[in-house]
A and B are shown apart, each in its own frame.
Chain A
Amino acid sequence: MSRILLADDDVELTEMLSQYLAGEGFAVESAHDGEAALAKARHGGFDLMVLDVMMPRKNGFDVLRELRASSLMPVLMLTARDEDVDSIVGLELGADDYLPKPCNPRVLVARIRAILRRAPTGDTTIAGQEAPQTLTLGDLEMHAGTRRVTCGGKPVVMTSTEYSVLEALLREAGHVVSKAELSERALGRKLTRYDRSLDMHVSSLRRKLGTLAGGEERIKTVRGVGYQYTRS
């Protein structure tokens, strides 16, 4: 049973949401302010954190920033519906996905499942049963079992979502992967209009991996179509 940490200052909401998620087969614990959420998350034992941006004592961004310094625990951000900037900031700080609030609990459950499916602590056989154990291209190596990535022999720390995006691109290296396809394969959901999630994940991958030996960009943007991993 997956354990979920629910960080939101709305006590009534978290109570109901806990019941709802329990009904969907999750074990839920909640925190009502940023500091409590961070303490619980650091203590470990959770498969995923649902993190609201607006929280007292420490807002969601600060919690995420501090958490990412030491942990790759999957995080789903709940952002204000009219603040596109929030979602971009959240993704930049290393959130795995975001959902505008208020949201339909069914959508929330679907997003949680999509993230858990690609998380290493989850049931890895779902994602990588037929996949080869190690994926290698040039100086880049991806170990499917442990979901570890090395670049030029050095380990690269990345969230599970970044791993999934990179994996989807690497399997099709040299070919363009459309945004719609990438969204379904890596994020486990349909692409929506003006969704910047993929762009943000790709840009953080670029930042972490650096350029190829010749100074060439590893992941190229094909405008209006999608992304392509460069096969040298």
Chain B
Amino acid sequence: MHRLFWKIFLSFWVALVLFAAATMFTASHYLEHTRQQEEATGPRERLQNRVAEGQRIADRAGVEGLKAWLRDLDRRELVPLLLLDRDGNDLLGRPVPAPVAEHLAREATRPWHAPFRPRLRALIRLPDGGEYRLVPDYQGVILGRVIARPRVIALPLILAALASGLVCFLLARYLTAPLDRLRRATEHYATGDLSTRVAPTLGTRRDEVAELARAFDHMAQRLQELMTLQRQLLSDVSHELRSPLARLQVALGLARQRSDGRADSEFDRIERETERLNDLIGQLLSLARLESGVTVAEREPVDLVELLASVASDADFEARAAHRRVELDGTTPATIQGDARLLHSALENIVRNAVRYTAEGTAVTLSLERDRGKPDRWRITIRDQGPGVPEEMLPLLFEPFVRVGDARDRASGGYGLGLAIAQKAVRLHGGEVVARNEPAGGFSIAVVLPAGPGSS
């Protein structure tokens, strides 16, 4: 079940054991080797050779030469060699270990010609009459001394590091490669492509990562099904709601044919309300579509000035019937990449809303300029001369069917879905919609759109 757990556990364990074993083996091997060397030549002869060498240096260079020779020896040799004067002090001032001092003291009490152990003449005499004894300190071969001499343990250390490094590298790669594939798949999902599957790329793997990949694939498949379902639901709802509407419209036409113009104004009214209902269903569907992300904005060059002008002229035509105007107030040439139809409906919704609230006899003004804060963005401002919106309601303005809460809105039917649709459509273009009460009076909604590549 927990294959990956055991893989990680075992490989770390094995790597550590291998590393420790290799270190211990090489260190002990080296020590063994040193000892064997000592025994091959015999410690006695070796010491004798050292003493002769020391004596030659003492004769030629005196105390200073002796000190330099001793330092060099200490660096080279694993077994420390002490050079003690008559009082038992080391020439280089190194501390004399207790066992060595005891040994010397014992020896001093014995006669020179003890029969069971011939005395070693390990004396170096200086020209000035000083006398030193060369004493090897075998017990001084401690780990610290081994480590302080890198030349001795460098090779085994490097080998152990390489071996464990290789193990860890392979393990890390084995673990992260499928995670990378999962990440790439997630990125695909984020862009809306839910058809990517990860598990088949992992071959015969049977561990936690493979299980994760399978769970992932399952999730993607479920999402895909839900998306299809959502799309199906949208079109079903559209069909189910609109079939009765279609019948209603034909029935209305028939009634009109047969009434010989006696109830035309009533029929006009019914027709208008039917059309309104139809629009509302359309808006609901387009909002649902925008929210579900089913709609992906088409990308084509959209001339914002042209778009704004056409929205303004259409809205002006409608507004004049209610003694209001819609005016274009300052534009600058701007083209963006986007879905002209979506942007048109977004702006139309905002402008319609503004016309509804602007005071009678005033104008709604539309302007287009480069955003002052961010020059890579276009700012379209739709401003009305209405009573504005309470500050605390501003963030809620783009929620579907929000009511600002005074009688004015109930009379005019609230904000409906128009602003919610506008915001979703603008966001689909990477833009933002900002509403605010103007300090000088009136209310404005700004549509900020990123100027795509190739814009002037």
A-side interface residues toward B, CB under 8 Å? 10, 12-13, 16-17, 19-20, 23, 54, 80-84, 101-106, 193-194, 224
A102 and B249 within 8 A (CB): yes
**Most-contacted residue by chain B among A80, A81, A84, A103 (CB, 10 A):** A81
Q: Are B278 and A20 in contact (CB under 8 A)?
A: no
9 pairs across A/B with beta carbons < 8 Å?
A12-B247, A13-B247, A13-B250, A16-B250, A20-B257, A23-B254, A82-B286, A82-B289, A224-B306
Q: Which 6 A-B pairs have the closest CB atoms?
A: A102-B246, A105-B253, A16-B250, A23-B257, A102-B245, A194-B341
Indicate whether A19 sits within 8 Å of B239 (C-beta atoms), given known contacts A13-B246, A102-B246: no
Contacts of A193 in B (CB 8 A): 310, 344
- B227-266 CB mask vs A (1 if < 8 Å, else 0) is 0000000010011001101111111011001000000000
- Among A16, A83, A102, A105: residue with most chain B CB under 10 A: A102
B59 at the interface (CB under 8 A from A): no
Bound Cα distance A90, B247 (Å): 23
Q: Which residues of A contact B238 (CB under 8 A)?
A: 80-82
Q: Which residues of A contact B242 (CB under 8 A)?
A: 81, 101-102
Q: How far is the CA of A4 from the CA of B251 in the complex (A)?
A: 19
Residue B271, interface by CB 8 Å: yes
| Residues 197-230 (chain B) with a chain A CB within 8 angstroms | none
Chain A residue nearest in CB terms to B289: A82
Is B78 on the interface with A (CB-CB < 8 A)? no
Q: Which residue of B lies closest to A9 (CB)?
A: B243
* B63 beta carbon closer than 8 Å to chain A: no
A162 to chain B, nearest CB (A): 25
Cβ of B397 under 8 Å from chain A = no
How far is the CB of A104 from the nearest CB of chain B, in Å?
A: 6
Q: A82-B289, A84-B341 are in contact. List 4 more A-B contacts (CB 8 A).
A: A13-B250, A20-B250, A104-B275, A224-B306
Contact between A82 and B250 (Cβ–Cβ < 8 Å)?
A: no
A101–B286 contact, CB under 8 A? no
- Choose among A12, A82, A84, A106 the residue that contacts B253 (Cβ–Cβ < 8 A): A106
Rounded to whole Å, the gap between the CB of B411 and the closest CB of chain A is: 29
Q: Is B91 an interface residue when CB atoms closer than 8 A count as contact? A: no
Contact status of A10 and B285, CB under 8 A, knowing A193-B310, A193-B344: no
Say whether A104 contacts B253, CB under 8 Å.
Answer: yes
Set B254, B285, B341: member contacting A19, Cβ < 8 A: B254
- Which B147-187 residues have a C-beta within 8 angstroms of A? none
The CA of A216 and the CA of B286, in the complex, are separated in Å by: 41
B70 within 8 A of A: no
Given contacts A82-B285, A102-B278, contact A20 B239 (CB under 8 A): no
